[in-house]
Amino acid sequence: MSSQQRQACVNLQWSLALMDGLIAGGMRRLVISPGSRSTPLVLAAQRRPELELTAILDERSAAFFALGLARASDRPVGILCTSGSAPAHWLPAVIEASESEIPLILLSADRPPELRGWGANQTVDQNRLFGSYVREFHDPGPAEDAPAALKMMRALGLRAASMSLATPTGPVHLNLPFREPLVPDADCPGFALAEPETTAGPEAQQGPARRPCATQTLAGRGAPTPTDLPLGAGKGLICCGPGAWSAASADALWALAARLDVPVLCDPLSGLRFGPAGPGRITRYDGFLRNARIAAELRPDWVIRFGRAPVSKTLLGWLADIPTLLVDPGGRWSDPNHDVRWQLHSDAQTFCRSLLATDLGSAAAAAAHADWAPRWTRLEGQVDRLASQHLDEAPWCEAHIISDLLELLPADEGLLCANSMPIRQVDTWSGGRDKGLQVFGNRGASGIDGQTSTLAGLNAGGIPTTALLGDLSFLHDLSGLHLLRALERPCIVINNGGGRIFDYLPQHGLSGFEQLWRTPMAIALKRLAEPFGLEHRLAADRDALRKVMQEVLTTSGPGPSGCVIEVIVDAEVSRAAHRQFWHRLASSRLD
Amino acid sequence: MSSQQRQACVNLQWSLALMDGLIAGGMRRLVISPGSRSTPLVLAAQRRPELELTAILDERSAAFFALGLARASDRPVGILCTSGSAPAHWLPAVIEASESEIPLILLSADRPPELRGWGANQTVDQNRLFGSYVREFHDPGPAEDAPAALKMMRALGLRAASMSLATPTGPVHLNLPFREPLVPDADCPGFALAEPETTAGPEAQQGPARRPCATQTLAGRGAPTPTDLPLGAGKGLICCGPGAWSAASADALWALAARLDVPVLCDPLSGLRFGPAGPGRITRYDGFLRNARIAAELRPDWVIRFGRAPVSKTLLGWLADIPTLLVDPGGRWSDPNHDVRWQLHSDAQTFCRSLLATDLGSAAAAAAHADWAPRWTRLEGQVDRLASQHLDEAPWCEAHIISDLLELLPADEGLLCANSMPIRQVDTWSGGRDKGLQVFGNRGASGIDGQTSTLAGLNAGGIPTTALLGDLSFLHDLSGLHLLRALERPCIVINNGGGRIFDYLPQHGLSGFEQLWRTPMAIALKRLAEPFGLEHRLAADRDALRKVMQEVLTTSGPGPSGCVIEVIVDAEVSRAAHRQFWHRLASSRLD
């Protein structure tokens, strides 16, 4: 083998060792954007049947696709690209992954050190490109094939995948320089392909278990013990913000809520709003806390918060100045109101079980506040009824859309909600339901970005997921549209002519409002769907949308794939209906 | 005024002061992506008639648009967005701007310090988000309205715009936190709008002069003087890589080349290949240096290099191990071959004039190498003829496309070339021409990204610019398509079914090549043009393309605006024709 060809072969061995480590750490899928410098890594990935590869041209879309994939599969997902500005396109999704704790493995190919900083082509400083948004950064230098070097590389792969799942879960970046040549000769060991094609077998979908449950203990140096906390006295409540709950964790939570006899306020992204629940599940707080009298009367003495800050601004504002215990396994200090008095580094299940095993004297507390938890449940029912009444009386708007989706979406499927309006409207209008529903939202950074790619990733990750987007979030991620072709679930786009969240803010009515804030785009969605091979369905009233949804959802198998349902909503009518509902809430005789 | 409303008014005063400073520093255009937190800055910009505002939804596209705008107008251009992941989308364009030295002012709105790091919505760490890719970073903290604070803010605007034009030119980032409320009452000073609309008058297009010529001197501490350099002896050449030359600089260069009697190798992005030239302009080096005998015989003793590394890999490889003097006003060490022996921090004009004023004993050197410069010119002519012969004999391919474009594009207009193939093929096939032509390429990071948005920006910046892209680079920047609607010049897309540069690399023919490297997209360009309101023209042979180009270019005014010309090229035929030409060059009796 020539020394040139030896280099290419070393590159491959090095890359194979890395892939073996990543696979051992649980990675099963790798999303690739095309490039030359990344070739040794692509070759290695092709040669590992455990890995399923997906090629996506636009690196930004690839990263959001991987984000959805990782969220749905609860496994680390790799993304791979060439050198230069290519990995820079990952940044928005990396920020979201960091904030919402999604395990991504970022594999950026690079030029070797002797070319960096010397004006070589397609060479920029990729060192720590993602700053503090990644949990770890490594650059192991150019490939070597000494046994110790390959051992290190395998260990690095295992470490990267494992650290992406550590607490707090999040992205890990490996920057991987390669010297040319990049393609080895046929006699390079490991270069021969057993199978000519790159698709992974079905076993790749199963593989080793997903991430183990976190098993941290409650006690830590200096941490308060449960009896140090004021949980046995006064009126309390549990607030569950965005963050996934396992079934076992949820059981422990409902048991604790029953024991403490407190309401549990469930954010739409908490995973607790839909599916079986113990007593005390509250979903209508964004409604009844708009009634000033009720909001004042319900003021609690303490709050236990799980997960990130809730979507509802009404709730978050109401929680201000209430002593709060924050439970977070990763020690993230999520406290925009600055009310946290105690923070426990614990996963939710361990915390709930520890508290259940402790004598909190809650019987006395419950007796002292006999109408506390029941009152919350009563208000939940009253707002349920007001919402039903609104659905009967109001002109068609998002309230009906969300109510109908909650009725029609099959058990345990997914619903991706864009930021700005959809997630807020789901928060307001969903209520609870007994059938499970996994509500997803890129709520870490709450960007307008990456929605169609994330939707494709969620579906590719095995959870049939419908999206509810606005017209602008749909149009922000055009690169994801061609990925929707393969989906069995529709992408619902509420087309109300631009960024309507601004209609609810003080910017509404400013000079230049239409051009500089609401920014509607003159692109017809029907015509846009066509070149991407997507079916376009229009729904301009309640019956039409219900009918389309029923058709789309009942077609099993790879049916009418890639469907965009454009829902025409009159934003002015909708705004008036929302205001009317809030007025009704504010003025009604809730008790 | 309530204290709440006072805050909104302070936000506006603060923002007005910043805009005044930016305007004083030469900024005339601001590209805005919609958002709420950025409202005080938008309000301020609206109230300054010197500023022309453009709203673009996708921040990534907005940044590449601004990049093109700044390149064409040679002025600092601002980009503005809201907090969260929004500014992260700027990163690819910021890297390109940093590497290719384009003045961008990055204005990211942010939440105030008390919300950062506390889990508040749409709040991420934006501090030094662009790392070393920006020339300066400032976060002045929340708005204040004390006279000293407003004075500082005005100074900060002036400084940001000025520093973006300093040497080396590049992006400057201001992170700007605002406390709510964001919209002031009507009685806030400066809030009243003189004009209801936001468009700037024509005078905004003129304003103060563009950036002054750099006037650095040649001498520096420890810098060699011209007579220390080996320029008076042996065979030398001047290599001008990517980088703009003013007309005055070019005059000085041609005078120096004549004086030294050396050839000047002109990269397609040097600005020297097209337009009037002195003797010694060489454009066909990528051709004749492929002839091994000629390449060996032409070996020079020294090289003076200006600008970044040349596009031609043939030239760059051939230059290896030749003692090199690098002239760069910003002191950037562009030297991928590691051959630079001397580096001078000087602008090109100063350097050339200094050398012209020096006794270099060049008459003696020229006499000793009488056939040196003339031989280069002779070879240029010989390859010119071989290229003409190739055009006559070869089947239609990029050679014809580029030759025809060079003939048809009007004097002093622009041509944006995508990376990978188009810029390399222009390098090979353009030759020179007497009519000026401004060739643009995002060659700092040489990414596949942002091409359609950059094209729109170049045109908006006042240079009628045609683009020559491949199908993948066109499809990578879908968000830019709706910006093309307004253009008078076409976007030419060579559709050859994916990333054909890989056909020329060792990856060609690998298993999975089509899916993982070439990655053609199953999107019909004709159907894609439609929803964006673009005319689609097809050209499948030479006559058709010439005819379409003539039609499009001769329509004056806002004619058949927004035209995508899809050029169908058979990539296999093209590859064979290229190989045949290179074979002819390698085997021909060049002398």
Rounded to whole angstroms, the Cα distance separating A535 from A84 reads 36
- Residue of B34, B119, B309 lying closest to A517 (CB–CB): B34
The 10s digit of each residue's pLDDT in B238-274 is: 999 998 788 889 999 999 999 999 999 999 999 999 9
H or E element in which residue A459 lies: helix A451-460
How high is the pLDDT of residue A75?
Answer: 95
DSSP state, A191? -
B346 closest CA partner among B327, B320, B360: B327
Binary contact (B121, A336; C-beta < 8 A)? yes
Closest residue on chain A to B86 (Cα) = A447
Domains of chain B: 3-177 (3.40.50.970), 233-372 (3.40.50.1220), 394-587 (3.40.50.970)
Contacts A43 to B, Cβ<8 Å: 510
Query: Do residue A499 and residue B42 have CB atoms under 8 angstroms apart?
Result: no
User: How far A501 CA lies from chain B's nearest CA (Å)?
Assistant: 9
| B60:A55 CB<8 A | no
What are the chain A neighbours of B115 within 8 Å (beta carbons)? 336
Place of tokens 């169908």: B568
Amino acid sitting at position B508: H
Mean pLDDT of chain A: 89
Residue A466 sits at φ, ψ, to 5 deg, of: -95, 145
pLDDT on residue A370: 81
In this complex, the residue of B91, B334, B511 whose CB is nearest that of residue A91 is B91
Would you call the peptide bond into B168 cis, given omega within 30 degrees of 0 as the criterion?
yes
Using a CB-CB cut-off of 8 Å, the residues of chain A touching B339 are none
Positions of chain A with pLDDT lower than 50, given as ranges: 196-209, 212-226, 363-364
Distance of CA B6 to the CA centre of its chain: 43
Strands (E), B351-437: 414-417
The residue in chain A having the minimum alpha-carbon distance to the alpha carbon of residue B445 is A122
Task: Report the alpha-carbon distance of residue A243 to residue A253 in Å, rounded.
Answer: 14
pLDDT (0 to 100) of residue B193: 87
pLDDT, mean of residues B282-300: 96
Tell me: the pLDDT tens digits for B426-461?
A: 999 999 999 999 999 999 999 999 999 999 999 999
Q: What amino acid occupies position B234?
A: G
Q: Which residues in chain B are closer than 8 Å to A501, comparing Cβ atoms?
A: 36
CA-based nearest residue to A519, from A495, A500, A506 = A500
Task: Tell me whether residues A476 and B32 touch, CB distance under 8 A.
Answer: no
Chain B CA closest to residue A58: B476
Spatial CB neighbours of A282, under 8 Å, sequence gap ≥ 6: A263, A264, A265, A266, A376, A377, A380
Residues of B in contact with A532 (CB under 8 A): 523
- Which tokens is B517 given? 């490297």
Residues of B in contact with A57 (CB under 8 A): 472, 475-476, 519, 521
Q: Is A86 helix (H, G, I), strand (E, B) or coil?
A: helix
Neighbours of A364 (CB within 10 A): 10
Out of A560-569, B208-217, B383-392, B550-559, least confident range? B208-217
Distance from CA of B281 to the nearest CA of A (A): 24
Contact B496, B470 (CB under 8 A): yes
CB B373 within 8 A of CB B259: no
Give the gap in angstroms from C-alpha B389 to the nearest C-alpha of chain A. 32
Closest to B27 in 3D by CA, of B159, B149, B178: B159
How near does any CA of chain A get to the CA of B111, in Å? Answer: 11
Model confidence pLDDT, tens digit, residues A283-338: 999 999 999 999 999 999 999 999 999 999 999 999 999 999 999 888 788 888 88
Helix (H) or strand (E) segment spanning residue B251: helix B247-260
Round the CA-based radius of gyration of chain B to a whole number and report it.
26
For A30, which residue in chain B has the nearest alpha carbon? B516
User: Which residues of chain A have a CB within 8 Å of the CB of B242?
Assistant: none
Provide the pLDDT for residue B199: 44
Question: How far does the CA of residue B392 sit from the closest CA of chain A (Å)?
Answer: 33
Q: How far is A254 from chain B, CA to nearest CA, in Å?
A: 25
| Subunit contact A183:B118, Cβ cutoff 8 A | no
Token reading at B53:
């505002």
For A577, the 3-state DSSP assignment is helix
Contacts of B554 (CB under 8 A, 6+ apart): none
Q: DSSP characters for A282-302?
A: E--HHHHTTSHHHHHHT--SE
> How many residues can be counted in chain B?
591
Contact B198 A516 (CB under 8 A): yes
Half-sphere exposure of A382 (CA within 13 A, CB side): 20
What ranges in B420-541 are assigned the alpha helix state H? 421-429, 451-460, 471-476, 513, 525-529
Q: How much is the pLDDT for B332?
A: 82
**Taking CA atoms, what residue in A is nearest to B8?**
A506
Count the Cβ atoms, other than its own, within 10 Å of residue B548. Answer: 19
Instruction: Count A/B contacts: CB-CB distance under 8 Å.
Output: 248
Which of B85, B115, B183 shows the shortest C-beta gap to A96?
Answer: B85
Which residues, 6 or more positions from B511, have their beta carbon under 8 angstroms from its beta carbon? A46, A193, A196, A197, A198
Residue of A nearest to B53 (CA): A516
Helix (H, G, I), strand (E, B) or coil at A442: coil
Q: What does the DSSP 8-state code read for residue A199?
A: P
B507 interaction partners in chain A (CB closer than 8 Å) = 36, 39, 182-183
Give SS3 for A331. coil
- Cβ pair A316, A309 in contact under 8 A: yes
Strand order in the sheet with B340-344: B281-282, B264-266, B236-240, B302-306, B324-327, B340-344
CB distance B223 to B325 below 8 Å: no
Q: φ and ψ at B530, to 5 degrees?
A: -55, -55
pLDDT tens digits along B101-137: 999 999 999 999 999 888 888 889 999 999 999 999 9
How far is CA B270 from each of CA B209, B402, B435, B440, rounded to the nearest angstrom? 23, 17, 15, 9
| Closest Cβ opposite residue A198 in set B53, B308, B512 | B512
Q: Do A121 and B446 make contact, defined as CB atoms within 8 angstroms?
A: yes
What DSSP element (H or E) covers A317?
helix A313-318
Reported residue count of chain A is 591
Answer yes or no: do A506 and B183 touch at CB < 8 A: yes
In B, minimum Cα distance to A511 occurs at: B196
DSSP assignment of B49-111 equals TT-EEEE-SSHHHHHHHHHHHHHHHTS-EEEEE-SSSGGGGGHHHHHHHHHHT--EEEEEEE-
Question: Are the CB atoms for B4 and B181 separated by under 8 Å?
Answer: yes
What's the Cα-to-Cα distance from A302 to each of A319, A373, A423, rounded to whole Å?
Answer: 10, 14, 27
Which of residues B222 and B236 earns the better pLDDT score?
Answer: B236
User: Which of A85, A338, A511 is nearest residue B118 as measured by Cβ atoms?
Assistant: A338
Among the partner residues A86, A482, A530, nearest to B447 by beta-carbon distance: A86
Which residue type sits at B41?
L
Alpha-carbon torsion angle B446, B452, B458, B463, nearest 10: 120
Q: Give B338-383 pLDDT, tens digit per residue.
A: 888 888 888 999 999 998 998 766 544 555 578 999 999 999 999 9
H or E stretch covering B582? helix B571-587
CA distance B12 to B8: 6
Residue from A58, A82, A308 to probe the interface with B (highest B Cβ count within 10 Å): A58
Please indicate whether, in this complex, the C-beta atoms of A472 and B57 are within 8 angstroms of each other: yes
Residues in B touching A193 (Cβ below 8 Å): 511
Percentage of chain B beyond pLDDT 90 is 74
Q: Tell me the per-residue pLDDT of A203-232, one tens digit each, with 9 for 90 and over.
A: 344 444 455 433 434 443 344 444 556 666
Q: Do A198 and B511 touch (CB under 8 A)?
A: yes
Q: Per the CB < 8 Å rule, is A131 touching B132?
A: no
Min distance A313 CA to chain B CA atoms (Å): 10
Two tokens at A220?
A: 């830590």
Token duo for residue B516:
């993982």
Task: Output the CA angle B507-B509-B511, nearest 5 degrees.
Answer: 90
Encoding tokens for residue B588? 């021909």
Residues of B in contact with A42 (CB under 8 A): 512, 516-517
Q: What is the mean pLDDT of residues B28-46?
A: 95
Per-residue pLDDT at B406:
96
Of B57, B84, B501, the CB nearest to A446: B84
Nearest-Cα residue of chain A relative to residue B180 = A506
pLDDT for residue A339: 86
Terminal Cα-to-Cα distance of chain A (whole angstroms)? 84
Residue of B nearest to A195 (CA): B511
Which helix (H) or strand (E) covers residue A265, if one does?
strand A264-266
Q: Are A423 and A309 in contact (CB under 8 A)?
A: no
* Chain A residues within 8 A of B512 when measuring between CB atoms: 42, 46, 197-198
Determine the pLDDT at residue B4: 82
pLDDT on residue B438: 96
Give the residue on B whose Cα is nearest the Cα of A62. Answer: B476
Strands (E), A402-543: 413-417, 437-440, 465-470, 491-495, 535-539
What are the tens digits of pLDDT across the range B7-17?
Answer: 999 999 999 99
Of B51, B55, B95, which Cα lies nearest the Cα of B76?
A: B51
Residue B417 backbone phi and psi in degrees, to 5: -110, 130
**Which residues in A lie closer than 8 A to residue B510 (C-beta atoms)?**
43, 183
β-bridge mates for residue B136, sequence order: B172
Q: Is B570 helix (H, G, I), strand (E, B) or coil?
A: coil
